[in-house]
Amino acid sequence: MGSVSASAPATSPPLPSRRGSVSAAAPTVSSPLSSPRFLSAGYFRVTSRSPDWTRRARVFVSAMSNEIVPMSAPCEAPATSRNIEGAGSAKQQLSRLVKESLDSLFPDEVQPIVAACQAKFGDYQCNNAMVIWSQLKGKTTQFKNPSSIGQAIAKNLPESEMIESSSVAGPGFVNIKFSNKWISKHIQNMLVNGIEQWAPILSVRKAVVDFSSPNIAKEMHVGHLRSTIMGDTLARMLEFSNVEVLRRNHVGDWGTQFGMLIEYLFEQFPNWEDAGDQAIGDLQAFYKASKKKFDDDPDFKTRAQQAVVKLQSGEDKYRHAWQNICEISRKEFDLVYQRLKVQLEEKGESFYNPYIRGILEEFERNNLIKESEGARVVEIDGYDIPLIVVKKDGGYNYASTDLACLWYRLTEEKAEWIIYITDVGQQQHFDMFFSAARLIGWLPASKDAYPKASHVGLGLVLGSDGKRFRTRSSEVVRLVELLDEAKNRSKAELIKRLEDNGKITDWTDAELESTAEAVGYGAIKYADLKNNRLTNYTFSFDQMLNDKGNTAVYLLYAHARICSIINKSSKDIEEFKKASTCMSWKINTGIGKIVLDHVDERALGLHLIQFAEIVEEACSNLLPNVLCEYLYNLSEMFTRFYTSCQVIGSEQQESRLLLCEATAIVMRKCFLLLGITPVYRI
Determine the pLDDT at residue 395: 78
On whether the CB atoms of residues 406 and 451 are closer than 8 A, the answer is no
Closest Cα to residue 49, out of 247, 187, 197? 247
CA–CA gap between residue 232 and residue 421 (Å, rounded): 10
Backbone angles phi, psi at 375, to 5 degrees: -100, 165
CA–CA gap between residue 65 and residue 88 (Å, rounded): 16
Buried b (16+ CB within 10 A) or exposed e, 95-107: bbbbbbbbeebbe
Determine the pLDDT at residue 654: 93
3-state secondary structure (DSSP) of residue 668: helix
CA–CA gap between residue 17 and residue 352 (Å, rounded): 12
Backbone angles phi, psi at 231, to 5 degrees: -65, -40
Instruction: Return the C-alpha torsion angle 285, 291, 292, 295, nearest 10.
Output: 180
Going 596 to 556 to 224 to 532, the CA torsion angle's sign is positive
CA–CA gap between residue 507 and residue 437 (Å, rounded): 57
Buried b (16+ CB within 10 A) or exposed e, 449-462: eebbbbbbbbbbbb
CA–CA gap between residue 487 and residue 390 (Å, rounded): 46
Distances (CA, A) of 515 to 127, 229, 519, 620: 47, 20, 6, 33
- Which residues in the chain show pLDDT less than 70? 1-86, 274-279, 281, 470-476, 580-592
Radius of gyration of the chain (CA): 29
Closest Cα to residue 292, out of 260, 270, 321, 252? 260
The β-bridge partners of 283 are none
Determine the pLDDT at residue 281: 65
Q: Which helix (H) or strand (E) holds 517?
A: helix 509-529
On whether the CB atoms of residues 90 and 178 are closer than 8 A, the answer is yes
Contacts of 675 (CB under 8 A, 6+ apart): 229, 232, 233, 236, 340, 341, 342, 525
CA–CA gap between residue 97 and residue 92 (Å, rounded): 9
Helix axes 256-268, 316-340, angle to 10 degrees: 100
Distances (CA, A) of 682 to 178, 393, 506, 586: 37, 62, 11, 35
**Full-model pTM:** 0.84
The DSSP result for 274-286, as a single string, is: HHGGGGT-SHHHH
On whether the CB atoms of residues 128 and 114 are closer than 8 A, the answer is no
Contacts of 204 (CB under 8 A, 6+ apart): 243, 416, 417, 450
Closest Cα to residue 614, out of 626, 605, 602? 626
On whether the CB atoms of residues 146 and 193 are closer than 8 A, the answer is no
On whether the CB atoms of residues 241 and 454 are closer than 8 A, the answer is no
On whether the CB atoms of residues 150 and 172 are closer than 8 A, the answer is yes
Beta strands in 218-326 (DSSP E): 244-249
Cis peptide preceding 171, ω within 30 of 0: no
CA–CA gap between residue 28 and residue 357 (Å, rounded): 8
